[in-house]
Amino acid sequence: MPSDLENAMETLIKVFHRYASTDGCSTSLNRKELKKLMETELSSFLKSQKDPAAVDKIMKDLDANGDGEVNFEEFVSLVVGLSIACEQIYQKQVTGAGKKK
């Protein structure tokens, strides 16, 4: 039986390929695919962005090799960055809850 972490990794891979395969090339996300993924899978994050060009900026930041697409390795850097930010918020909540007692 897979562990929680193994399930999380499998889910990450499946989500990436679900969106990457919509326009032909299943090994990378173009701008349209990345936008759809973010609107569906990261809607709370995307809604919190005040900039209407947020997806374009994220795409530019993620596209480390400059090919105009986001491969899995580049995509994982987005997930890692968001996970770190969420963990920092979690730590503040835990620390804040401990101080209120």
Residue type present at position 17? H
Collect all residues with Cβ–Cβ distance below 8 Å to 67 and sequence separation of at least 6: 28
Q: Crossing angle of helices 72-99/4-20, nearest 10°?
A: 130
User: For each of the chain's 101 residues, which pLDDT tens digit applies?
Assistant: 999 999 999 999 999 999 998 887 889 999 999 999 999 998 888 778 777 788 888 999 999 889 999 999 999 999 999 899 889 988 988 887 766 54
Q: With respect to CATH, is domain 4-99 assigned 1.10.238.10? A: yes
pTM (predicted TM-score) = 0.81
